[in-house]
Structure 1
Amino acid sequence: MKPEVGLETTLSNSSPQERQQEHLTHGLILFDSRYSVIGFEPLLYGNVDSAFLYRREIIKAALDADASAVITAHYPRDGNLNPDKTDIALIKGLEASLEAINVRLVDHLIICGTESVSFAEQGLLK
Structure 2
Amino acid sequence: MDETEEDLIDYLVKSKAYPVCSKFGKISFTGPKDKFFDKKKDEIIKKLKLKTKEDCGRIRELVKEESAKLRTTKPIKKWVKEDRPREMLIKVGSENVPLTKLLAIILRTGNSFDGSSAEDLARKLLDKFRDLRGIDQASVDDLCSIKGIGMAKGVQVKSALEIGKRFYRENAEIKKRLSNVESVIGFVRDFYGPYLRDSKKEFFNIILLDRKNKVIDTKELTKGSVNASIVDPLEIVREATRETASSIILVHNHPSGEVDPSGDDIETTDRVVKACDLVNVRVLDHIIIGKNLEDYFSFMDKGLI
TM-score range, shorter chain: 0.7 to 0.9
What is the deviation of 1:46? 2.0
User: Quick one: higher RCO (CA 8 Å, sep 6+), 1 or 2?
Assistant: 1
Q: How does 1:47-126 map to 2 (within 5 A)?
A: 47-113=225-291, 114=293, 115-125=295-305
| Match 1:39 to one of 217, 240, 245 | 217
Unaligned 5+ segments in structure 1 are none
Evaluate the alpha carbon distance shift between residue 59 and residue 119 of structure 1 in structure 2; reply closer, same or farther with a 3 A threshold: same
1:61 Cα shift? 0.8
Distance in 1, matches of 2:279 and 2:304, equals: 20
Report how far residue 13 of structure 1 moved: 4.5
If you compute each CA radius of gyration, which structure gives the higher value, 1 or 2?
2
Q: Is the 8 A contact 1:26 1:44 kept in 2?
A: yes
Query: Among residues 203, 221, 242, which one is paired with 1:25 in the alignment?
Result: 203
Q: Which residue in 1 is equivalent to 2:194?
A: 9
* 8 Å CA contact retained: 1:44, 1:52: yes
| Whole-Å separation in 1 of the counterparts to 2:205 and 2:251 | 5
Structure with higher strand content: 1
Change (3 A) 1:39 1:98: same
Deviation at 1:79, TM superposition (A): 2.6
TM-score normalised by L of structure 2:
0.37
Tell me if structure 2 keeps the 8 A contact 1:24–1:42. Answer: no
Q: 3-state SS of the aligned residue for 2:261?
A: coil
CA distance in 2, matches of 1:69, 1:9: 24
Unmatched tracts of structure 2, length 5 or more: 1-180
What is the number of residues matched between the two proteins?
118
- Give the TM-score normalised by structure 1: 0.84
Give deviations 1:52-75, integer Å, cap 9, x for gaps: 111111111101111000000111
SS at match of 1:83: coil
- Tell whether the 8 Å contact from 1:47 to 1:77 is kept in structure 2 after alignment: no
Q: Give the corresponding residue for 2:147.
A: none
User: In the aligned structure 1, how far is the partner of 2:285 from the partner of 2:259?
Assistant: 15
Deviation at 1:50, TM superposition (A): 4.9
Which runs of structure 1 show a deviation greater than 6 angstroms over 4 or more consecutive aligned residues? Answer: none
1:79-124 alpha-carbon deviations (Å, 9 max, x no partner): 3211122111110111111111100100001101221100001100
**1:49 Cα shift?**
5.0
C-alpha distance in 1 between matches for 2:204 and 2:288? 9
Structure number with the higher helix fraction is: 2
- Conservation of the 8 A alpha-carbon contact between 2:202 and 2:255: no
Partner AA of 1:119 in structure 2? F
CA distance in 2, matches of 1:85, 1:117: 14
CA distance 1:49–1:123, change in 2 (3 Å): closer
Post-superposition shift, 1:77?
Answer: 3.6
